[in-house]
Amino acid sequence: MSRILVFQHVAAEPLGTLDALIRARGHRIRFVNFERDPDAQPDIDRYQGLVVLGGPMNVEDQRARPHLNTELHCIDRALQQGKPVLGICLGAQLLAHALGASVRRHHTQEIGWYRWQATEHGEADPVLGPLGTEAPIFQWHGCTFDVPREAVHLGRTATCENQAFRWGDDAYGLQFHLEMDVPLIERWLAHPAYRDELEQAGLGHGPAEIRAATGELIGDMQQRAEQVFSRFLDRVGRPRRRIVLGSRD
C-alpha cells in the first residue's frame, strides 16, 4: 500500500474531492497542516507521493512563514527521488519556484469560473488529457508562475497564460482547483477573507454569478477531475521495480 504526504496550509483549503479518490484507491494519507504546526519537519523519504495544496499566502512570504522553505526542501527532495508531485494553486507556485522559475503577482486575479485551453502537449498529456481542448475550471489566485525550464507547458486561460505544467514524467503544477465541489465553493464564498478578496478584485462578478456558473459547470469539471486525479494516482500507485537476479548454473 502506498502512502501519500499532503501539505495543507489553511483549513479552508482541503483536498476536496481528491480526498475520497485517494482513499478509494487504498492509499494512506498523512496530512501536515502548517497552519496548526508551522514548525513541522516532514520526511518525504517515507512516502510514495506528495500533494501540495493551496493557501492565501504567497511564495514570497518565506521570511514570515519559514514553513514555505521546509516545503520547498521537501518538494526538491521528492523530485530528486522521482516521486510523483502534484501542486495545486500555491502548491503549483511552490513547485515552479523549486524548479527555478519565477513566481509573481499577476496583472489580474482569477476568481470563479474560466475556460481551460490546452496546448498541444496538454491535449496529449497522460494525466491532464481528460480536460480536452477546452473545459471549465475553477480559479482563485492572484499570482502566476513561469513555466520552469525543461518543463512542458500544458494549458492556459484567456487571462493567464501559464495554468499548468509537467516536469519530467510525474510532477504536475496546476494553477486551478479541480478538487472543488459545491460545498467547498460555498465555504470559500462565505469565508470573510475570501469574500473580501473577491469584492476588492473588481472582476465584474460576485458570489451570485459564481453560484450560477457553478450550477451549470461543476458537474462537467468533476467528471474530468476524477479522470485527471485517477491518472495521477495511477502514477503514485505504480509498483516499485524489482531487480531479479539471474540464477547461476
All three cell numbers of 66, joined, read 519559514
36 vs 244: which has the higher pLDDT: 36
Q: What is the mean pLDDT of the chain?
A: 94
The domain tally of the chain equals: 1
Percent of the chain, pLDDT > 90?
93
Contact 15, 53 (CB under 8 A): yes
Across the range 17-31, mean pLDDT stands at 95
What pLDDT, on the 0 to 100 scale, is given for residue 237?
A: 81
pLDDT digits (tens, 9 = 90+) for 155-205: 999 999 999 999 999 999 999 999 999 999 999 999 999 999 999 999 999
121 pLDDT higher than 50: yes
What Rg value do the Cα atoms of the chain yield, rounded? 18
Q: What DSSP character marks residue 238?
A: P
What pLDDT, on the 0 to 100 scale, is given for residue 243?
A: 35
Q: Find the CATH number of the domain harbouring 96.
A: 3.40.50.880
- Kindly state whether residue 171 falls inside one of the protein's structural domains: yes
Percent of the chain, pLDDT > 70?
95
**Phi–psi pair at 200, nearest 5 degrees:** -75, -15
- Give the HSE-up count for residue 74: Cα atoms under 13 Å, Cβ half-sphere: 29
What pLDDT, on the 0 to 100 scale, is given for residue 238?
A: 54
C-alpha to C-alpha distance for 41 and 67, rounded to whole angstroms:
9
**Phi–psi pair at 194, nearest 5 degrees:** -70, -40
Return the active site residues: 89, 177, 179
- Kindly state whether residue 246 falls inside one of the protein's structural domains: no
Q: Which of 111, 144, 76 is nearest to 213 (CA)?
A: 111
- Kindly state whether residue 245 falls inside one of the protein's structural domains: no
Q: Which of 159, 194, 165, 22 is nearest to 91 (CA)?
A: 165
- Kindly state whether residue 242 falls inside one of the protein's structural domains: no
- Structural domain containing residue 47: 3-236
C-alpha to C-alpha distance for 81 and 93, rounded to whole angstroms:
20
- Kindly state whether residue 194 falls inside one of the protein's structural domains: yes
CA dihedral of 217, 125, 81, 22, whole degrees rounded to 10 = 30
What pLDDT, on the 0 to 100 scale, is given for residue 93?
A: 98
- Kindly state whether residue 195 falls inside one of the protein's structural domains: yes
- Kindly state whether residue 95 falls inside one of the protein's structural domains: yes
